[in-house]
Structures are given as structure tokens and as C-alpha cells.
Amino acid sequence: MKILAIESSCDDTAVAIVENRKVLSSLIASQIDEHIVYGGVVPEIASRMHIEAISNLYKEALKQANLTIDDIDAIAVTYAPGLVGSLLVGVSFAKGLSFATGKPLIPVHHLRSHVAANYLTSADLKPPFLALVISGGHTHLINVKDYCDFEVIGRTRDDAAGECFDKSARALGLPYPGGVHLDKLAQNGDNAAYSLPKPKVENNPLDFSFSGLKTAVLNTINNSKQKGLEVNVENMCASLRKIVTDILLDKIQKAVELYPTKKIVLAGGVSANSEIRQRIKDYCENNGISFYAPELKYCGDNAAMVAAQAIYEYENGKIAQLDLNAYATMDIQTLK
Ligand code: KG4
Ligand code: ZN
């Protein structure tokens, strides 16, 4: 089954065509250059840029796959969660395509598609598994029981891991989105230079909290400035990357105790982080657990991952009508 998928939940417009976990084309128009001057995504600009990019990306995706729309079996689209104005551009375009061609329309949850990015990289991967989804807006530990059966066993109470990286990076003067720059600078830093706090989260041992850590970074930077001292950027990047990895690894270990598993899957933009990937992989290898992470090009937002999940949503009967809406928030477990 050939699926043409569209993703526009934040600041990347993406169109891809995928057949049975094989990517026939995958295009992304990044808006980073437009948002960089504001230090973050401006929703109105994002919506306008999706509108400008989407038609050409659609044509180019078909061209690169050497197909016409007649060869496509279904249209998939991210419909939640995300910036609602951005999502609406993709959803409207997908509805138009479905109406014009009569092909089924498959709505896909953004975090489900991040998990499915792993199916593109590991053709043999099947649920059940435990997934750690770490992105700019979400940090979830998920018991993936089946392709469309998700149980969230831990989640952040406040900021996401990506947000903690991005806000700290911004305070250190790094360009948006800071996570990737922070990761690079950390390579040359001393990760013991700054002592940062590990949050305590009451009640659910698998829940996360990153806002205290972010505040600690900002306070260290401000206190240094007040004393006329410079923060060593590389050392701070290395110290923050290490503590975030320590926290994630701690939660994974606890999750494995409570939900024994033979497979651990990383997903989301932050899963591109070199230390997080390496240390979770080492933990898995030392504990007889198979480790999966998407190829770097499928860690961040892309449309190939949307198509990868769409096939299972379709098989599960999740087919939308033309009244499909976009939603800023939606739980991964129970879809609208
Ligand atoms: O999944 P994603 O592309 O968008 C959302 O759905 O949020 O994730 C974006 C996040 C941003 O916070 C970005 O800074 C972070 O992923 N990120 C990284 C790295 N590459 C991207 N964070 C840490 N290390 C990286 N190498
Ligand atoms: Zn994402």
C-alpha cells in the first residue's frame, strides 16, 4: 500500500510517500531561518509558511518517487497535537486531496508517528515494546502494546526534555532550536563542571519534571553575570546534557523493573542527542534488551513517519471523513 503523508504540526512542512516501511520520497521544508530571529516559533508565521510550501512539496514528493497521484492508495495527515493553525494547513490540504481523488484519509497522532519512525529504520520491529518519546513539546514513557494500543506509564509534569534544552541553550546565547547546538558544544565540555539538580517527582516514579532543572541553569547563568563572571558555555552544555541523560536513564531503568521488556525504542527530536542515544544503547546492551532509535533524519518532524504509522491506523479502521478537524492537544491513548 502506497501512502502519501503530510506533516505540518510545528515549523516543518513535510510530504512523504512510503510503501511497506520503504520510503519512496521524503521532503521537508524547514522554517528555522524565518523563526531564528525571534528565538522560537511564531505561530502566525509558521501557518503562512506551511501554506506557501505545501503544494510544491506535494508535487516534488510525487516526482521524486516517480509516481502520479493515481498510484497512491491513501492520504495520511498529522491532525494532533501541535500548533492548531499549522496543523490546519496540512489537514485542509489532505482533505482537498482526498475529496478530489476519492482516496481514504487517515488521521495520525503526532507522537504515534514519532514512535513509528522506528519502523522505517528497523523493518523487523514489532510491538510490544517500551518507548521513550522525547521531543520539543513532550516527554512520555509509553508501554506500546500494539501498533495502535498505547499506555502512557510516565510523562512530564511540566516542561519537556527538548524545552529544557532549548530554553537553556537560548539563555546561553545559542541559536534556535538550541538542542542540536547544545549537543555539539557539549562534546568539548567538562560534564562535572556545574552541579545541577536531579528533580524529585512524587507519586509516580516514572513521571518526569524538567522545569526545576531549566530554572537552575538560568539561575546559574544569571548569578554568574551578576558577579561579572562568564559561564563556560561548553561546560554548561556538557553538564546539562549529562544530567538530562541521567534522568532519562533512571526512568528507563525503573520502567523496565515495573514493565519488563526485551525492546526499548527511542523517539522524537531529542532522540537525535548523541549522549542520550549512546548511554541508553549501552544500558540495553548490558541488560540483554534490544535497542532501537530512528535514523537521525527521521528523529525530528518528517512525513515518512506519519505514513509509517498510518498503515496501522488504516488497518485499525481509523479513516476520517471530510469534517476532520485539527487539535492542539490530544492524548496518545484515546484519539478523537
Ligand atoms: O520532535 P521534534 O522535531 O518536534 C516536536 O515534536 O517537538 O523535536 C524538536 C526538539 C527540539 O527541542 C530540539 O532542540 C530537539 O528536538 N533536538 C535535540 C537534538 N536535535 C534536536 N535535542 C538535543 N540534542 C539534539 N541533538
Ligand atoms: Zn515532533
**Where exactly does CATH 3.30.420.40 map onto the chain?**
2-115+298-315, 127-297
- Catalogue the E-assigned strands of 35-169: 74-80, 105-109, 129-134, 139-146, 149-155
Percent of the chain with pLDDT over 90: 96
What pLDDT, on the 0 to 100 scale, is given for residue 75? 98
Instruction: Report the SS3 class of residue 230.
Output: coil
Cis status of the peptide bond prior to 177, with omega within 30 of 0: yes
- Catalogue the E-assigned strands of 64-201: 74-80, 105-109, 129-134, 139-146, 149-155
39: confidence class by pLDDT, cuts 50, 70, 90: confident
How far apart CA 267 and CA 115 sit, in angstroms, is 5
What pLDDT, on the 0 to 100 scale, is given for residue 229? 92
Q: What are phi and psi of 14, to 5 degrees?
A: -140, 140
pLDDT in tens, 101-137: 999 999 999 999 999 999 999 999 999 999 999 999 9
pLDDT in tens, 229-261: 999 999 999 999 999 999 999 999 999 999 999
Ligand 1 atom closest to Cα of 274?
26
Of all protein residues, the one whose alpha carbon is nearest to atom 7 of ligand 1 is 136
Q: Does domain 2-115+298-315 have CATH number 3.30.420.40?
A: yes
**217 Cα: distance to centroid of ligand 1 (angstroms):** 18
What Å distances lie between residue 47 and 26, 29, 102, 134, 325, CA to CA? 20, 13, 26, 24, 16
Percent of the chain with pLDDT over 70: 100
What pLDDT, on the 0 to 100 scale, is given for residue 281? 98
**222 Cα: distance to centroid of ligand 2 (angstroms):** 31
DSSP class of residue 175 equals P
Q: Spelled out in words, what is the top-level CATH class assigned to the domain 127-297?
A: alpha beta
Q: Work out the average pLDDT over 182-204.
A: 96
How far apart CA 115 and CA 239 sit, in angstroms, is 28
